[in-house]
Amino acid sequence: MSVRRFVGANSRDVMRQVRETLGEDALIVANRRTEGGVEILAMADEAIDHFEPSPEPAPPETPEATPPQDPMQAMSERLLREMQDMRALLANSQPANNAAQTPTAPTGTAARLRQLLWNVGFSSELADELLAGLPEPLAGLAGDSEAPLQWLRQQLMDRLCVLSDEASFFDQTGIVALVGPTGVGKTTTTAKLAARFVMRHGTRPVALVTTDSFRIGAHEQLRIYARLLDTPMYALDAEQPIDDLLGRLQGKQWVIIDTVGMSQRDQRVIEQIAHLQGGRSRVRLVLLLNAASQPETLEEVVMRYRQAARAAGAELDDCIITKQDEAGRLAPVLDIIMRHGMRVLFGSNGQQVPEDMAIAAPAALVDQALSTATPQRERAQSADAPMGMPRWSRDVLGQGRRLSSLLARLRQRVTGFAELEEIWNLASLPSSVQEERLDTLLASYPKAETTLGMAWSARRNERGCDWAMPDIGLDTDGAWLALPWLQHRHAAGWQPRLAALSVSSGVAVHLLPRFPESDALAWLEAEHLTWVSQVAPSHRVRFHHERQTIRQLFNDSVLTHHVGVRFRGQSVQLWTAYAEVEDASGCALLAWYGEVRDPESAKVVVRRYWLTPARLGAEVLSLLLTQLQSEGLSALTRRAWQQLKEADSGDLNAEVRLLMASGVASVAGHLDVADDEEAQTLRGDLLNLLGTSRRRRDTGMLDALVYAFMARDAIRQMGSVSREGVA
């Protein structure tokens, strides 16, 4: 059966003919108006698959020849051909769709890690944040490699803020109030905390307070614990401020309040926290989170209680995880804690007082979370879309979390980063006080126990600049410190300068930009300090009792030894040779010649010459690498200096700006030359901040660091404006 033609006076008449001939399921493939009425081409539905279109017309032999074909018929055949193709496509794709419903193992490292995070209970939002920084070397590893899992474990640990030690919590005097929904375990946790305090400080300085007058037996339960601990217990109406008890709390250094349990949706939550904060006494709030609760419930608890705290002018950043032993999965509560930037103080996993509570340990919490993987879990809408928070707010919150985590990890890794942050804080102060605060800050920097050496800069202004490159300190691992030293704040003269820093800060390694004068050299040798000095190729030395330039010494040398090195943002090779020489006074030295070469073309990029004490031997090569790499910091500093100059309003002290610029240059350089896994992760996280690919990763990281600090300062400024009630 093929296409049939139907003609009638009007559409109704033609359609009646079609139904009578082909049935109700007939397929209309074309229609048009004619002089006699309406013409329709139609066919039975089942005939589509058996339809054989007319053969394609052969090309005409002459331009004048045309194959005769009804245009209506040609169009209907083309439409039918397309229908057949569509049916075949649907038929072929059906098995694939059915197969897609069957879970298959994810391919690729990122996909496997994402699936693991999802299976154990972490949200896709947090997974996106984590996996955005997956280092490229890990992304290409085989599926049986443990390295990606160890990287993921470390990332989760880094994002989990915890209490450093119990002393930092129990040795602070003040008032602590436990808040949270009904049944979360506030009364038992109150007793556990009080018992821990009594074990450290005795019973006299502590008191228990309850505001729970709603729950039957609540007072008696806490009273029993108080009697066992031999501590006083007081009852306070939920509507009373804590100041009403101050007279009876005289002499108590640590007061813990067991508050009324309320649903996070109860409007009285705001009133309760407002009453706690309404008096003259500052009350520290701690939120209890039930690890066995549903993710959407935990999300809402955190949001509502923190909103209530902010409404009362308080902060709610600390939490305690309860009922860990009852939780099938720990990942949901950790996910919410990480995404909201809260700090975990303790974890509770039972009813025994005080045994079933321990200080939060990131490794143990993350391992417990990752060990509960299941083949699949149902997708909950609230896991990816926190209740009550618009998408744009969650995006900004996620960016804030990434920024906070990044700065915290830099603070932990790079010596002096906290001091660099303090320098940036000065930028928000009036110019009249910046210099005074700067003097105070630098007076206690650096710390002797963290400073090994100094990479001294040339005593001249940078080309095209009105400032000289600061001197860069080295930590005990030989890495650059985050906060450099301004040249003009050092003593005048090389020998006094070296002696002052060696005595005050314990600096034992000196990387010098030129060969030291005789008094400085004698002092260095007398003190048996480590030093290396870059020298000009025309510098003269004694070799086999003959004086010659250091360039002449290596004119015919064949360089056979090389090491890989990062230099000015590029991966290159340093080829070296050395010879035993003497200076004019007869001091035994090693003369070094180095060529920095492009590893692909073998082209020489730069040549360098050094002199080092002969007593140090060839092991001094690592210091030569450090000094060589230090050369790239001046260009990074100039770049940061210009960005800061364009961004400030003219009130920034010149010394402060130079320390800000050279500081971010040191941090960017530190991460650029490091090759450990942590540095790779930090590099990825930094470069992902700006979301654009850069040809040079050192300048990319520098720009990202400047952005990170500026974003941090903007967030802080907005926060202070909001607290003042202006915004």
Domain extent listing, the chain: 4-100, 109-158, 162-373
Sheet holding 37-43: strands in order across?
4-8, 37-43, 27-34
b (16+ CB within 10 A) / e for 268-287: ebbbbbbbbbbbebebbbbb
Distance, in Å, from the CA atom of 429 to the CA atom of 653, rounded to the nearest integer, reads: 10
- Among residues 612, 416, 627, 410, the alpha carbon closest in space to that of 505 is found at 416
Q: Tell me whether the omega of the peptide bond preceding residue 446 falls within 30 degrees of 0, making it cis.
A: yes
Residue 129: its pLDDT value, please?
82
| Ranges under pLDDT 70 in the chain | 1-2, 25, 45-66, 68-107, 143, 212-220, 238-247, 251, 261-281, 354-355, 373-399, 649, 691-694, 716-727
Neighbours of 604 (CB within 10 A): 11
CA–chain centroid gap for 475, Å, is 24
User: Per the structure block, which two tokens stand in for 104?
Assistant: 């298959």
Residue 53: its pLDDT value, please?
53
Amino acid in the structure at residue 419: E
Q: In 631-695, where does DSSP find H-type helix? A: 633-647, 654-673, 677-690
Angle subtended at Cα 389 by Cα 387 and Cα 390, rounded to the nearest 5 degrees:
125
Which residue shows structure tokens 């919590």? 169
Distance, in Å, from the CA atom of 451 to the CA atom of 464, rounded to the nearest integer, reads: 31
Please say whether the beta carbons of 611 and 590 come within 8 A. yes
- Of the chain, the end-to-end C-alpha distance in Å amounts to 77
Residue 432: its pLDDT value, please?
74
pTM > 0.85:
no
Q: Tell me whether the omega of the peptide bond preceding residue 354 falls within 30 degrees of 0, making it cis.
A: yes
Residue 9: its pLDDT value, please?
81
Amino acid in the structure at residue 240: Q
Distance, in Å, from the CA atom of 160 to the CA atom of 594, rounded to the nearest integer, reads: 45
User: Per the structure block, which two tokens stand in for 539?
Assistant: 């510098």
Q: Give the pairing type, strands 283-290 and 4-8.
A: unpaired
Amino acid in the structure at residue 640: A
The architecture CATH gives domain 162-373: 3-Layer(aba) Sandwich (3.40)
Distance, in Å, from the CA atom of 398 to the CA atom of 391, rounded to the nearest integer, reads: 10
CA distances from 124 to 369, 380, 483 (A): 15, 11, 37
Neighbours of 168 (CB within 10 A): 11
Residue 196: its pLDDT value, please?
84
Cβ partners under 8 Å of residue 591, min gap 6: 541, 543, 550, 553, 554, 578, 579, 580, 581, 609, 610, 611
User: Per the structure block, which two tokens stand in for 284?
Assistant: 């520290």
Task: For 467-495, write each residue's pLDDT tens digit.
Answer: 999 999 999 999 999 999 999 998 889 99
Secondary structure element (H or E) that encloses residue 484, with its range = none
Distance, in Å, from the CA atom of 610 to the CA atom of 225, rounded to the nearest integer, reads: 73
Instruction: Give SS3 for 381.
Output: helix
